[in-house]
Amino acid sequence: MFIFYSGGFTGFLSLFIIPIHLYIPNKMKQLQSAGYIPTTCFTLPKTCWTDNFYAPQVEVQKAFQRKHANNDAAHAFIENQRHEQRLYEKYKEYYGYVFYIVKKRQ
């Protein structure tokens, strides 16, 4: 299963739980219907999230909050990012991005 998170600065949050064995084949069909030839697909490894995305954010978020100490919107923005990270930690076995390599049909 994959859990897809959709959120943002506004604080809107939704979770979509889709079994992976249904999601990828359905997406491949959508791509074909849109005039593409799917070549392959892959998911990002967990280290892309932990080491390359979330870990570098910690110090940047602290600096951002110091710089915007009196800005409620800035603090809400950082809290939303931290909430997303907590969701990842809770659901990391199911959370991810799928990338598709396709070619436009002639």
Q: What's the pLDDT score for residue 3?
A: 42
Average pLDDT over residues 100-104: 91
Classify 92 as helix, strand or coil: coil
Q: Do the Cβ atoms of 41 and 98 come closer than 8 Å?
A: yes
Q: What are the pLDDT digits (tens) for 10-50?
A: 444 444 556 666 778 888 999 999 999 999 988 888 898 89
Q: What are the pLDDT digits (tens) for 50-89?
A: 999 999 999 999 999 999 999 999 999 999 999 999 988 8
pTM of the prediction?
Answer: 0.62
Domains along the chain with CATH numbers: 2-104 (3.40.50.150)
Distance CA 52, CA 48 (A): 5
Distance CA 61, CA 74 (A): 10
